[in-house]
Amino acid sequence: MKKRQRIKTKVGLALLLVAALALAIVPIRAWAQDTDTDGDGFTDDQESTDIRLMDGTLISTDPNTPDLFVILVPASPSNLPANPLEFVSKPPAEGGL
């Protein structure tokens, strides 16, 4: 009788372990609460709020247009061109991205 009880206990613990492993292994998809209309990784709420740059300048972005932020800290001395972002800021017709 005790042997049968131990077997039931072991089977119950094994099933509990399998259930716990299944919950730990199978990911559950989480969605952001806010929308990102342009798909650039910034929520529409973040894009509608002013962003303060290091020099104090406030900028606003358009939630319907993808945004690109570049942080550039040149070394001293540097071989960077005068305008290192010219290929990003130029229109495609002029050789930009």
In whole angstroms, give the CA distance from residue 52 to residue 63. Answer: 17
Are the beta carbons of 97 and 87 closer than 8 angstroms? Answer: yes
pLDDT of residue 33: 66
pLDDT of residue 13: 85
Tell me what the mean pLDDT of segment 91-96 comes to. Answer: 80
pLDDT of residue 30: 57
DSSP string of 20-78, one letter each residue: HHHHHHS------SS--TT-SSS-HHHHHS-EE-TTS-EE---TTS----------SS-
Name the pLDDT band for 55 (thresholds 50, 70, 90).
confident
Tell me what the mean pLDDT of segment 31-37 comes to. Answer: 73
Are the beta carbons of 36 and 43 closer than 8 angstroms? Answer: yes
> Comparing 27 with 94, which gets the higher pLDDT?
94
Tell me what the mean pLDDT of segment 67-83 comes to. Answer: 79
Q: Fill in the amino acid letter for 18.
A: V
